[in-house]
Structure 1
Amino acid sequence: MNAFGLIQIGIILLCTSTTSCPQCNHLPLQQRKVVKNSMQLLDKMGEKFPRQCLREKMFFRFPKQVLKPRQKETVKVAIEEIFQHIFYIFSKNLTLAAWDKTALGQFQNGLYQQIEQLEACVIKKQTRYFWSKEANRLKLKKYFKEIDCFLKDKQYSLCSWEISRAEMRRCLQLVDKVVRKLNN
């Protein structure tokens, strides 16, 4: 393991063993940058939405209540889970997606790094604030399962990926709105 890896492990251990972590204190600002960058990369990955895909348009209902809990830590846990689901979806069977591979790789790497940071910041508090309502967690899981099933049903076609990419952008816009509120 290199020195950078050891430093990251040290920060994670420090963050999870104390209630005050400099990396975690700036997390909402970092999340905002990551979300904005992710939306830009989603745009950069592909062209405009293909006209031939308009007839296949699908509406997925994002469970907005998962981003409206009363405690900031619960919101961080929800955002971490959202990033994990997005990462999972964009890590499989992308062969028919005609996207810029560099932008896709940067998108995946950014999500992965943010997931690690969020895990480090919420792990200790997670037992205290762990999803005030399990029902919200299940709704979020159902939302992403619908997208995953849609992709499978359409055999990971170009249009199914484009529809999913547009939906992930909309999802990230909702996360961005919440993160802006956390900064205030």
Structure 2
Amino acid sequence: MATYCLLQIGLVLLSTTKISTLDCNILPSLHNKMIQRNLHLLNKMGQHFPQQCQSEKMYYKFPEQFLKSRQKEEVKVEIQEILQHIFYIFTKNLTLAVWDGRSLERFLNGLYQQIEHLETCMREKMEMKKPYSRTRLKLKKYFQKIDNFLKEKQYSFCSWEIIRLEVRRCLQFIDKVIRRLKN
């Protein structure tokens, strides 16, 4: 199922218009709408958090430091990295996740579009890429812990539901940052 879903996403992406034609000055309002759409799709993918998964927990705190960054370009890089990590995680072994395939496909497509748009708008800045900041390193470690959690739990149904909740929190943090950038 995951392979079929990824194939469909690839076909959808090939048929979409190139994102690079978008105006990079509308970044905050565009990404705010995309984040809201992705949060909606994430909620729509599954039902309410299952009771049988209440006892399982993941004890990793999202590194909120990036909320405090004052440089817009650094925030954009961090947002892009978070979205890339989320995309990577959701293209893993989804066989035990019982989610709405269409919503998952649209969610991954939305993430991919956001990543591409950020990449296009920051292309010049990315060529002069700075070494990893502490915050970016913490983000990388955080998502590695999520990946390890899924592996430890053998990609179980409950582990995917816990990750879905965690990704929702990540997207909500990004939404806060984008709202702050708009002001």
Match of 2:117 in 1: 117
* In 2: Cα distance, 1:183 partner to 1:95 partner: 39
| 2:98 alignment partner, SS class | coil
| 2:60 alignment partner, SS class | coil
CA gap of 1:168–1:34, structure 2 versus 1, over 3 A, is same
* In 1: Cα distance, 2:138 partner to 2:49 partner: 27
Match of 1:34 in 2: 34
The answer to whether the 8 A contact 1:67-1:78 is kept is no
| Structure 2 counterpart of 1:64, one-letter code | E
CA deviation map 1:35-62 (0-9, x unaligned): 1011111100000000010100222211
* In 2: Cα distance, 1:182 partner to 1:66 partner: 12
How many positions carry a matched residue from both structures? 170
Match of 2:97 in 1: 97
**How far 1:128 moved relative to its partner?**
5.6
Unpaired runs of at least 5, structure 2 = 1-13
Unpaired runs of at least 5, structure 1 = 13-21
Match of 2:155 in 1: 156
* In 2: Cα distance, 1:183 partner to 1:126 partner: 22
The answer to whether the 8 A contact 1:34-1:110 is kept is yes
TM-score (norm 1): 0.86
**How far 1:68 moved relative to its partner?**
2.2
Q: Where do 4+ consecutive residues of structure 1 move more than 4 Å?
A: none
**How far 1:23 moved relative to its partner?**
1.4
TM-score (norm 2): 0.86
CA deviation map 1:107-138 (0-9, x unaligned): 0000001100000111212356747x622111
Q: Percent identity?
A: 57
Match of 1:45 in 2: 45
* In 2: Cα distance, 1:59 partner to 1:167 partner: 10
- The alignment's C-alpha RMSD in Å is 2.1
Match of 2:78 in 1: 78
